[in-house]
Amino acid sequence: DAKTTQPPSMDCAEGRAANLPCNHSTISGNEYVYWYRQIHSQGPQYIIHGLKNNETNEMASLIITEDRKSSTLILPHATLRDTAVYYCIAGDSNYQLIWGAGTKLIIKP
Amino acid sequence: EAGVTQSPTHLIKTRGQQATLRCSPISGHTSVYWYQQALGLGLQFLLWYDEGEERNRGNFPPRFSGRQFPNYSSELNVNALELEDSALYLCASSRDRRYEQYFGPGTRLTVT
């Protein structure tokens, strides 16, 4: 399975868009990119996933580059409740997903 | 729609004892996954059950085992507890292995 690389931490001002990058240069053609977040000591929460095309839902947008080697999760209007660890994971089966350390996103008032 | 539930919320055991953790998936989900998350670390895959069968396990010793019941709920058993087994144990369910996972709140296991 592809491994992903994320910055360990990021800050964002409340009300601004939070853009979280992820590199997955070894991703294969049938592997999806999943994003989850985990608020302190709670179970992770699914955000969004995609294969090739950009995706949008009520929580976020996922932009995947044409070569699929990187992606960006966009939280359009960050709130304090978006402070969490964000995990970018690549794989074709849930049981094979490798969860890294993620990005700790801190939303500042 | 009820989410994934786990019990108990907290569990304190002494070294050498056995622990049993329980998980109820979202209605209609047949796949259940178990993860271990040590303090400050990412999730480590433990076990995957689907349609009552163990489909895959992570790199954990055999004293970590479990089962899935006909109603798709699941149990994780940890025998001969060691201090390093102290962690948050998370259960997740999905429609199948490719779909997004939905996680429960976890069981915090402390081994003293």
Q: Which residues contact A77 (CB under 8 A, 6 or more apart)?
A: A15, A16, A17
B42 CB near a chain A CB, below 8 Å? yes
Q: How far apart are CA A45 and CA B28, in angstroms?
A: 19
Neighbours of B33 (CB within 10 A): 28
Phi and psi, residue A104, nearest 5°: -85, 110
Residues of chain B with pLDDT under 50: none
* Cβ–Cβ < 8 Å for B31, A94: yes
What would the pLDDT profile of A38-92 be if each residue is shown by its tens digit? 998 789 999 999 999 899 999 999 999 999 999 999 999 999 999 999 999 988 7
Q: Which residues of B touch A87 (CB under 8 A)?
A: 42-43
What would the pLDDT profile of A38-51 be if each residue is shown by its tens digit? 998 789 999 999 99
| CB contact (8 A) between residue B33 and residue A41 | no
Can you tell me which residue has the tokens 């480590």?
B44
Q: How far is A95 from chain B (nearest CA, A)?
A: 6
